[in-house]
Chain A
Amino acid sequence: MKQEEIQDQGRRNFIKTAAIATAATATCGSLACSCSSKKAAPGETVKLLSPEGEIVEIDSAYLNHQEHMSIVSKLEAREGIAGKKFVMVVDLANCKNARSCISACQKWHYRPKDVEWLTVKLLKDSDKAAPYWFPKQCFHCDNPPCVKVCPVDATFKRQDGLVLIDGDRCIGCKFCMAACPYSTRVFNWDEPELPLDIRDLAYSPETGIPAKVGTVEKCDFCPDRAREGLLPPCVEACPNGVFYFGDENEDTVSNGLETVSFTKLITDKGGYRYQEELGTKPRVYYLPPKDRSFPVEKGYQDADSAIRERFKEYKDLLGKKAETEE
């Protein structure tokens, strides 16, 4: 890419259109590169734009692809993606508590094993009703009780429907956590343990990285990936296509395996929102656990011991089958 071209574009546009990379070498600090999607062969040099605005040439061997660099300003992160209305559909008939979604989420957001922005609960609605696995992330409510109570506007509702948190502004009063009826939010009680290269990244409400001690965080529907046209890691990771993510305005949702009409999906399969009577208007819809792909006890039997421990008290919900397999 020619030097003149780079200078012609505004810095913001430049960063937006280019792939983002950081390079850490002994001499220069972090650099944003314009090497686009094609990877340079080893030994080749690439031209990079340094934070000072200078063009530097650097050996590609020193390049380190960095996914989590914030590509929008704080203001843009508050406004959201124009024209979008993100929505999620969770098909309870296909969930077998495989928990791939949880590990994918934790990996993407650099969260330790016991911090779950996304959890899978074992529910049973009444005595005679059948138990089922219930994956639950943030519902990104259209009438969010958490946003209502935030005293400093640290958590906010965007035009694309997302509810995000600005960890640079959060004072850690935890009012939002008390207000959320779904216990979705988690708190950084201690200094979060993060990989070294993540710790120094510029914080963005769109990535939530790096996590900050004494502040609240939660599932964010991965808007940084949405900007690149990618599905959230939980959706991609699910082996059973439980999660459908998409845009209500386009009336399209995808679980990575198939792309379908959102309206048709929830109409055909009787989609509903959890606890509609609370009036929070969630942006997550559930499809009832009808015609299931897996027996419910499989989720318990196949889980590792720590997870089984978690559902021990609830095991009787699964009936006798879970017992015999032990």
Chain B
Amino acid sequence: MELNTYQQQAFEYQRKNIETYGKRAWGWTVFYVLCILAGLYALFLQITKGHGITGMRDNVVWGLFIVNFIFFIGLSYAGAIIAGLLHLFKVKWGKPIIRLAQFMTLISVIVGPIFILLCVGRFDRMHHLFIYPRIQSPLTWDVMAVVTFFTGAVLFLWLALIKDLAVYRDANLNVPKWKQKIYKMLALGYRGAASQKRHLLLSQNLMAIIMIPLSIVVASILSWIFGMTLRPGWHSTIFGPYFVLGAVYSGCGVLIVAMWFYRKLYKLDYYFTDRHFTYLGYIMLVLAAGYGYFTFSEYFTAWFGSEKWDSELIHKLFSMSEYGGWTLFANVAGIALPMLIVAIPATRKPGYIAAGAFIMVMAMWVKRYLIIVPTLEATLLPMQDTRAEYVKYSATWPEWALTIAGIATFLLFFTVMSKFVTVVPVSGLEDTHTEHEKHQLQHEQH
């Protein structure tokens, strides 16, 4: 594989990252594995003792697990849309960040569905989904959607990796034999021949064209698990687009945060420039405005219409004795804050933007909680139950342990993958630095 000087430089710069699994990486890996082990212990208890150890009960039948499912799956769809668009529109500055977006796509589509397995009462019967499928159920649609999307995500990432894998294969890297073998195997004998190039580009374009609408379809299907029921706060015509936008928005935030971390960890300032933060910040701002608009429409129509069942939910969401504080957090930190940070020139800096994005991602997680739990607590008939735990949901430690384990799995995958392939793709990378940036970076290096 031939690389031009700029690309070669990018490769040599990142070479050590994939050649060594340093102390720091090991440290984090051990930490993540410990978190996962704690989660597995909670899972063991849940399997042996039953779902009674969770906070879920007959009224609030879904809790943290489904919140996490929506959250991670959303990131996945976002990654595919962002990577797809950057690829398809040949956005030159976007090239260094495509891989992070694709990492996020694949990892989240693995982590997300795990939470569905945790939530179902009988995961020993998951094969029933395939031997007794019922096509009318939105859940069946979602099974098909996730499986299709997972396949797409693998192909999309792999196709994008092939050129780089060929580079690693040919670079005589100082890595163990098995790793060499994997590079060789996954590179599928790519040599950079003209026909190979053409076919690869064609396949990548096709995948990008497939993945963008697919993400929209699957995110909508996810929303329809809720939208197709008769419950207030769920049974809404805008739920499909609302979920699509929410997914892309939180995904954009995670991408910014990931970019910031890798920039610090691997000193990738030259590739993840301030300009990347600003551009993604602008995208985040637009998405925040859109998400805010959708949220406003949702609440405003429900409140103004003031149907009894709707009003009950709105009351729960906005009364300070119930979810009012969280609603405030979700909308201030989740919508207003990132918009302000990007809009004000003084705070339009990588650090601020990343911090804003991080808080926004957390707020978007809370927002998912606010979509799921209060609606389930707003029943048509009064609950009138003697058991307090049946009336209000409160997550238990096994649910939190498994949530943390999920996040740890997400980060572990990121760590491992960034040690396997370079975070910034090298082949096809183009020098988009302005003279000013080059000057500045050189200045910083000295």
Contacts and interface: CB of A to CB of B under 8 A. Distances in A.
Nearest to A212: B122
Interface string B114-138: 0010011111011011001110111
Given A189-B57, A214-B51, A314-B384, A175 B121 contact: no
Interface string B48-65: 011110101111011000
B380 A151 contact: no
A313 to B, nearest CB: 8
Nearest to A175: B139
A151 B134 contact: yes
Contacts of A122: 382, 384
A214 B50 CA distance: 7
Contact of B386 (A183, A191, A306): A306
B385 interface: yes
Contact of B52 (A181, A190, A306): A190
A187 B126 CA distance: 18
B229 interface: yes
B376 interface: yes
Nearest to A191: B50
A310 B50 contact: no
A148 interface: yes
Interface string B361-389: 00000000000000010011111111100
A179 B128 contact: no
Nearest to B141: A151
A94 interface: no
B229 A178 contact: yes
A188 B58 CA distance: 9
A189 B59 contact: no
Given A182-B380, A306-B386, A311-B384, A188 B121 contact: yes
Contacts of A173: 116, 119-121, 139
Contacts of B383: 183
A215 B121 contact: yes
Contacts of A105: none
B346 interface: no
B381 A136 contact: yes
Given A151-B143, A214-B121, A190 B381 contact: no
Among A114, A149, A169, A278, residue most surrounded by chain B Cβ atoms (within 10 Å): A149
Contact of B50 (A152, A183, A213): A213
Contacts of A314: 382, 384
A280 B229 CA distance: 11
A214 B384 contact: no
B299 to A, nearest CB: 21
A181 B230 contact: yes
A179 B228 CA distance: 8
Tell me if B's interface is mostly helix, strand, loop or mixed.
loop
A187 B50 CA distance: 11
A172 B121 contact: yes
Contact of A275 (B50, B143, B380): B380
B386 A148 contact: no
A140 interface: no
Interface in A248-301: 275, 278, 280
A70 to B, nearest CB: 20
Given A172-B122, A174-B61, A187-B121, A152 B134 contact: yes
Contacts of A136: 381
Contacts of A16: none
Interface string A119-143: 1011100000000001010000000
Given A179-B230, A182-B380, A153 B50 contact: no
B334 to A, nearest CB: 24
A169 B132 CA distance: 9
Contacts of A187: 51, 57-58, 61, 121
Contacts of B392: none
Interface string A164-208: 000001111111011101110111111100000000000000000
B129 A151 contact: yes
A214 B126 CA distance: 12
Contacts of B49: 190
Among B50, B54, B59, B381, residue most surrounded by chain A Cβ atoms (within 10 Å): B381
Contacts of B379: 183
Contacts of B61: 174, 177-178, 187
B301 to A, nearest CB: 18
Interface string B213-236: 000000000000110111100000
Contacts of B384: 119, 121-122, 310-311, 314
19 contacts: A121-B382, A122-B382, A134-B381, A149-B229, A151-B134, A153-B132, A154-B132, A170-B121, A171-B120, A171-B121, A171-B122, A172-B120, A173-B116, A173-B119, A174-B120, A189-B50, A189-B56, A190-B50, A306-B386
Given A149-B228, A181-B229, 8 more contacts: A151-B129, A152-B134, A174-B119, A175-B138, A181-B230, A187-B51, A187-B61, A191-B50
Interface of A: 114, 119, 121-123, 134, 136, 145, 148-154, 169-175, 177-179, 181-183, 185-191, 213-216, 275, 278, 280, 306-307, 309-311, 314
6 pairs of A and B residues whose beta carbons are closest in the complex: A172-B121, A214-B121, A190-B50, A151-B139, A174-B61, A190-B52
